[in-house]
Amino acid sequence: MRTYILLLFTFINVAAFAQTGKIKGQVTNGSGEPIESINLILKGTGRGTVTTASGDFEFNTLPAGNYQVIGTGVGFKRIEKHVSLNADETVTLQLTATEDAHELQTVEITGRRETTYKNDLSFIASKTATPIKEVPQAISYITKEVMRDQGTFLMGDAVKNMSGVNQFTFYDDLTIRGFRMNGGSTTQLVNGLRTFSGFWKQPPVNYLERVEVIKGAASALYGNTSPGGTINRVTKKPLTTPQKSLTFTTGSFNTLRTLADFTGPMNEKKTLLYRLNLGYVNAQGFRNLQFDKNIIVAPSVSFLPTDKTRINFDLVYNRSNSRLDRGQSVKGNDLYSSSIKTSLNAVNDYLNEETYLITTSLNHQFTQNTSFNVAYLRTGYSEDLLEHRSSNVNGVDSAGKSIENLVARQVFIRKTKSFMDNVSLFVNHNFNTGIAEHKLVAGYDYIQSMTPKGSGQQTANGYLLKAGGAAAYNAKTPEKYIFYNYTENGVVRSIPKPNISHYDLTLQNNNMEDPSKYTFNVITNSATTPVLYKLHGLYLQEQLKIKRLQILLGLRYDTYIDKKNYTTNNEANVTQHALLPRIGAVYTLTNNINVYGTYTKGYNPQDATVQSDPLSGGPFDPIRSSLSEAGLKTEWIDGRLTANVSVYQITQTNTLYSANAADNPNLMQQIGEEKAKGVEFDMTGNILPNWNMILTYSYNDAKITDAGSKTTDQVLVNLQKPNAPKNQGSLWTKYTFVNNALSGFGLGLGGNFVTERNVSINNTQTLPGYALLNGAIYYKIDKFQFQVNLNNLANKTYWVGGYDYLRLFPGAPRNFMATISYTF
């Protein structure tokens, strides 16, 4: 009998086992990348598992029936999937995890998991983790994936993908909606904190997660900012998942580039995370005598001792050796009279720069609804410069008449250092009153910018005097100057002998020069004048949500303090105050479409170095601005693709422009009023998981509407602002094949166009419009990717910007970059 019972139980167990099934699958993000450490349970069964590094999971020996799979992970929306399982069946699931703005930290301390062209969140636009579609202001951005696919290394190449953003020069120098913003000012942000650059070099982007622009003044949160927009560079943050990559690039202009990116946890509990970005670049560029060597070290460490406390440390160190390129000069008004390679440097010129940015930040969650954030950014910059450059005028003959073949030159020898500190602290508090949801932000900023005593500059220019020394040429007293004979087209002309040899556009005389033979003057220069500038800012912001309507109200009170005559016995405080309001609203028309409007005011004290410069013609009144903007923010194709449109009007008063005075290049003039009116369109995202796209267009009518009180300046009225094209746009798309025959193969295609621009407000010189076509080929096999980027396929001659026809900034001719990357 016992034997029969054992056989019966064995039969029942075997039968039960034979009737079981399996549920398995993979969890990925929107672009198909696997996600590790997602917790999965079968509701009501007590069964659970966690996804592997490849995003895989599996539930075995399940009886036939209906199941509910639930997935959760920090920073992701809850996943729910109903499954019907038959006997002896294996069900394979492909689950997608979507980032949840409300589950993320209120400041960016751990890294962005998304790996697509699309970014859903903005931290800087409201100092809360707010979906971009719910921010009542236009925001453009470029993710690291776009920059990788386009082979981008410098900021100027990244911003061409943004509507309304245009280069002004080769340097860290842009116009946004027609208003100039450059790295020499103190209105740039890194991780939402104030910084600056040395102006001469575009920042590299290899250590950046994304570049974003808040269009219009961001003054209600950040104080004095450009009315056109504020650029924020977001550095790569540590990830909880180990990732490592090495990238090698070579190509045109003797370019050699080596990059590394390592990230992951430093302990088993994943409470200590790291990221390390390294870069070495050695490139000559397409311009004569130009080169650029960069060493970049950018570590980041995040410490997450509890679920409520997050601490982060970031360092970006960049050492650069190059020559300062002041641009191309041409004969008269003929843009094509000299090669775009023409540079006025001497062989022994140099520009050595060193920049560091050190950031520490703390985020603590007191309760589910209340958090405290404090961050500190220290920026340091040093410059060692020797340059031969244009004096912004042509050489002259004995009668003072210009000679178009000759460009007068000057020499600068400069050593300087600058520092900036920014302390930012704010409190976020969320609460409800009835049907209304509230997000309250209250904060304080302290900013200090300093150029200490110890900087200096020597300048050599002018024409040699018989009595010794040098001076500007005066045709009324030629007997005071030394002359020599210059032959032009067979005609001999007597011309004054320059202190620095003229650059002959016919001979292209780039020689090694001996600065010890020049007559130098030690001058007061705005770049080396000791400066101390401080800002104290208090702000309060409310984000109110009632069903479909969201209202944003902000108010900031700033106190600006300049140390006039800093480091002298006459040192004194110059104090200014500003009250800056911001109001905006977003209304959800449908699940796909939000409509918004905003109004804000801006205030900008004139640059402290300009105000302190006795040659500038100041002191000058502060800059005031206002922004009115409305638009639509939409999402399509299950949220994979966004399409946004905005219309705006910006008014600014008291802008400073160079007076273009030949005898005083530091002299400035103040314009009464400027207005920019325009329309912008941005589309970003994935049409298919393997098909990415960016499309932008902007129309911008940016004009001087009031030239001030001087009668001679009235000719400036209705003149389009410098380097502010009326029309510009861009397109970039990448398609990766997924069928077996072409699996791993991809193609990229795109370009950008810019219409005609003025290069100065004081003459009629213009730059022609241009349209460029770029392409790329990709092939990925296992952990290797091969990539070739082809730029300016039609080999167009064009100029990205300029000051005048003696200082033009041409774009690169046809070129290619070949890249191999290894991810492990």
pLDDT in tens, 522-562: 665 667 888 898 999 999 999 999 999 999 999 999 999 98
Query: pLDDT tens digits, residue range 136-163?
Result: 999 999 999 999 999 999 998 999 999 9
Residue 14 pLDDT: 44
Residue 295's CB is within 10 A of a number of other CB atoms, namely: 15
Which residues are CB-neighbours of 124 under 8 A, at least 6 positions away?
189, 192, 212, 214, 218, 221, 232
The amino acid that residue 540 corresponds to is L
Report the pLDDT value the prediction gives residue 74, as an integer from 0 to 100.
Answer: 58
Give domain status of residue 123, yes or no. Answer: no
Q: Which residue has the higher pLDDT, 691 or 707?
A: 691
The pLDDT, as a whole number, for residue 103 is 44
Domain count of the fold of the chain: 2
Q: What is the pLDDT of residues 290-315, one digit of tens each?
A: 999 999 999 999 999 988 899 999 99
The pLDDT score that the predictor gives to residue 11 is 41
Per-residue confidence band for 354, with pLDDT thresholds at 50, 70 and 90: very high
pLDDT for 258-278, tens place per residue? Answer: 999 999 999 988 899 999 999
Q: Is the pLDDT of residue 571 over 60?
A: yes
- The enclosing domain of 767 has a CATH number of 2.40.170.20
The verdict on residue 431 lying in a domain is: yes
Q: Is residue 185 part of a domain?
A: no
331-343 average pLDDT score:
94
In sequence order, what are the residues at sequence separation of 6 or more whose Cβ sits closer than 8 angstroms to the Cβ of residue 523?
Answer: 457, 458, 459
Q: Is residue 347 situated within a structural domain?
A: yes
Number of H helices, E strands in the chain: 5, 50
Question: Which range, of 44-48, 424-428, 459-463, 689-693, averages the lowest pLDDT?
Answer: 44-48
- CATH code for the domain in which residue 86 is found: 2.60.40.10
pLDDT at 7 over 60: no
| Domain termination residue (choose one: 66, 96, 126) | 96
CB 462 within 8 A of CB 499: yes
Q: What is the reported pLDDT for 663? A: 66
One DSSP character per residue, 649-663 reads EEEEEEEEEE--BTT
pLDDT tens digits, one per residue of 471-513: 999 999 999 999 999 988 888 889 999 999 999 999 888 999 9
The reported pLDDT for the residue numbered 141 is 93
**29: nearest Cα among 89, 104, 103, 98:** 98
Instruction: Return d(Cα 363, Cα 105) in angstroms, integer.
Output: 8
Domain with 247, as residue range(s), is 233-459+522-823
Which has more pLDDT, 712 or 823? 823
pLDDT in tens, 649-688: 999 988 877 776 666 767 777 778 899 999 999 999 999 9
Concatenating the DSSP letter of every residue in 157-192 gives HHGGGSTTEEESSSSSEEEETTEEEETTSS-EEETT
Span of 72-81, 342-351, 617-626, 798-807 with lowest mean pLDDT: 72-81
DSSP three-state, residue 546 = strand
Q: What are phi and psi of 498, to 5 degrees?
A: -80, 150
- Confidence band (pLDDT; 50, 70, 90) for 15? very low
**In this model, does residue 694 exceed pLDDT 60?**
yes
pTM (2 d.p.): 0.84
Which of residues 79, 96, 113 is at a domain's end?
Answer: 96
The whole-chain average pLDDT of the chain stands at 89
Eight-class DSSP state of 349: -
Would you say residue 795 lies in a domain? Answer: yes
| 115 assigned to some structural domain | no
Give yes or no for a contact between 251 and 817, defined as CB atoms under 8 angstroms apart.
yes
Euclidean distance between CA atoms 775 and 792, whole angstroms? 9
Q: Give the separation between CA 117 and CA 110, rounded to whole angstroms.
A: 19
- Comparing CA positions, the residue from 181, 138, 74, 212 lying closest to residue 645 is 138
Same domain, 91 and 239: no
pLDDT of 587 above 90: yes
Last residue of a domain, one of 72, 96, 120: 96
> What whole-number distance in Å separates Cα of residue 734 and Cα of residue 774?
12
Q: Residues 55-71: what's their mean pLDDT? A: 91
Answer yes or no: is pLDDT of 13 > 90.
Answer: no
Given this model, what pLDDT does residue 105 score? 47
Can you give the pLDDT at residue 104? Answer: 44
pLDDT tens digits, residue range 74-119? 567 789 899 999 988 999 999 988 766 444 445 566 666 667 898 8
Confidence category of residue 124, pLDDT binned at 50, 70, 90? confident
Amino acid at 281: V
Note whether residue 676 is domain-resident: yes
What percentage of the chain exceeds 70 in pLDDT?
A: 91
The pair of structure tokens assigned to 334 is: 């003929």
Strand partners, 47: 42
For residue 601, pLDDT beyond 80? yes
Least confident of 399-408, 418-427, 443-452, 606-615: 606-615
pLDDT for residue 312: 93
- pLDDT at residue 181 above 90? no
